[in-house]
Chains A and B, each alone.
Chain A
Amino acid sequence: MMIEISGLKAGYIKGSHVLQGLSMAIDKGQSVALMGRNGMGKTTLMRSIVGHLQASAGTIRFDGADITNRPPYRIARAGIGYVPQGRDIFHDFTVEENLRMGLLGKPGLGTQVPAWAYEMFPILEERRSQRAGTMSGGQQQQLAIMRALLGKPQLLILDEPSEGIQPSIVHDIGTALRRYADTQGLTVLLVEQNLDLVSLLAHHALFMENGTIVERVDDISRLHDDPDLINRYLTV
């Protein structure tokens, strides 16, 4: 198991839980899409895994080790890369400085951006000395993903990466990520509403409702073939 969550409870107000005893697991090398309507607790789950939000009950095990409520930098160093909703790039830094931030926090990765980063997303090399905040949404998303990948994570967490980005760019990003994950054996946890990106990137899908996982779909093509599934968990 790459990550194993059991009985997780977490929320923003004391005594009130968004996550109500959630359990899930992802095998090494698998890509899983987490789906569900807004407000069901997807982002809350991501924030709990990376340590931005304290869990009040339950455990999160990563590669066998208990990482529940550890500080974010320890979780990152254990091997979890995080691309948050809204990307959270450093707007005032150059593209290259943002990428270097993916390396500096991890001992042993050096300080220079390796060539493969620019080969995977060439636009980042073109814009390397430009301020990151001046780039388009799609470019910023590539930057945020690459910044996370440079830290050599075993598990990559992506929260709504397609939000506000043109479909063709979403497709390119998805294709590049799929190739990277296959060659590097990367495990991916993807929160996403965009079915194209999900079917491009994920092997399985989990559906979330009211703070728990309510259904697992092992065959990702069912998303297209079974409109009932979409109606039940996604349409408002």
Chain B
Amino acid sequence: MDLFLSIGLDAVSYVLTLLLVTLGLVIIYGMMNVINMAHGELFLLGAYTVVALQAVGAPFWVGFVAAPLVVGICGLLIEQIVIRHVYGRSIDTILATWGLSIAIKQVIIILFGPAAISIANPVPGSVSIAGVDYPAYRLVIMAVAALLAVATYLVVYRTSIGLQIRAVISNRGMAGSLGVNTRLMDRATFAVGAALAGIAGAVMAPIMSVDPQMGVGFLIPAFLAVLVGGLNSLLGAVVGASTIGGATSILSSVMAQASAQIGVFLLAILIIRLFPQGLWKETR
């Protein structure tokens, strides 16, 4: 029983963090039809923002607040320098953002070296949940991720800005002809999507080994989550992240890491074969 509970909690915390990365991907894809291969490196930049601030003696929470700002600004620059030149050319976008991801990784290696760096756990100790001792910091991660996911949902579905974002996603030309500044919307969504990945990187840094390759570890499951859940929908991202994240955590608790990965890929292939549009079809 205790084992199930702790596996369950692990799964929930992984799913929620994966959701933050996936939400950014889905928003950016839905809005601009840009498949951002550098999204994992935005996660990486969030983690290294924490590393950089720890190196100058700042407490973890300073890095946690700074990460979305730093990565959001990086997102703005990336949109301005690279993405806006390749709008509407999906293959070029993949190549350009892939190149960008390599460049970001190399810059990180130049600045911080290739070795893994560890971040001190800001909330040490554990909390007892129904008799199971669970690391307190993992609960913080869950709370942060859940709050951000709910906030993103509320902004997109319950505010005037969100209505305009959905209008641009649904019909860019018409939204423009109603006066919506589509250029501003592109920039803002890209920055917010980047910032979400940045927070995810920062919040995960203390429980992962921070190294220049860590972005890929989140990019691939996030892409699988998008494919499994269905494009163009935030709820699809939730379904996809739950499926992929949940399967990954549960399988890795009962078998070796490599076998678990194979299992998750097989599951994803099966789902995509049976539900080519994704598990969640937008109904409204």
Most buried by A among B176, B181, B183: B176
Interface assignment of B89: CB less than 8 Å from any CB of chain A: no
A42 part of interface (Cβ distance < 8 Å)? no
In the complex, whether A131 has a CB less than 8 A from a CB of chain B is yes
The answer to whether A101 and B177 have CB atoms under 8 Å apart is no
Cβ–Cβ < 8 Å partners of A102 in chain B: 178
Q: Does residue A50 face the partner (Cβ distance < 8 Å to B)?
A: yes
Contacts of A104 in B (CB 8 A): 160, 163-164, 178-180
Q: Check B173 for interface membership: any CB of A closer than 8 A.
A: yes
Could you give, for residues 166-189 of chain B, a 1 whenever the CB lies within 8 Å of some chain A CB and a 0 otherwise?
A: 110011011111111111000000
Q: A92-B282, A92-B284 are in contact. Are A73 and B163 (CB under 8 A)?
A: no
Count residues on chain A whose CB falls below 8 Å from chain B CBs.
28
In the complex, the answer to whether B182 meets A71 with C-beta atoms within 8 Å is yes
- Cβ–Cβ contact A101 & B284, under 8 A: no
Q: How far is the CB of B163 from chain A (nearest CB, A)?
A: 6
- Chain A hits for B282, CB < 8 A: 92
A71 to B181 CA separation, bound complex (whole angstroms): 9
Interface mask (A106-138 → B, CB under 8 Å = 1, otherwise 0): 100001000000000000000000010000000
Cβ-defined partner of B173 (8 Å) among A52, A77, A91, A147: A52
> In whole Å, how far is A184's beta carbon from the nearest beta carbon of chain B?
18
Give the residues in chain B near A75, CB-CB below 8 Å. Answer: 177
Taking a contact as CB atoms under 8 Å apart, the answer to whether A147 and B178 are in contact is yes
Which residues of A have CB within 8 Å of B160?
A: 100, 104, 111
Nearest residue in B to A102 (C-beta to C-beta)?
B178
Residue of A nearest to B184 (CB): A73
**What residues on A are CB-neighbors of B166 within 8 Å?**
90, 92-93
Most chain A CB within a 10 A radius of its CB, from B160, B170, B177, B284: B177
- Give Cα A9–Cα B284 distance, bound, in whole angstroms: 41
Q: Which residues of chain B come closer than 8 Å to A77, judged between CB atoms? A: 179
Tell me if A88 is interfacial: C-beta within 8 Å of chain B: yes
User: Are A76 and B163 in touch, CB under 8 angstroms?
Assistant: no
The answer on a CB contact under 8 Å between A73 and B164 is: no
A-B contact pairs, 14 of them (CB 8 A): A50-B177, A51-B177, A72-B173, A72-B176, A73-B177, A76-B177, A77-B179, A92-B170, A93-B163, A100-B160, A101-B167, A101-B180, A104-B164, A151-B178
Question: Which residues of B are in contact with A by a Cβ distance under 8 Å?
Answer: 160, 163-164, 166-167, 170-171, 173-183, 282, 284
The 8 closest A-B pairs by CB, nearest first: A105-B179, A72-B176, A105-B180, A76-B179, A88-B174, A82-B177, A105-B178, A106-B179
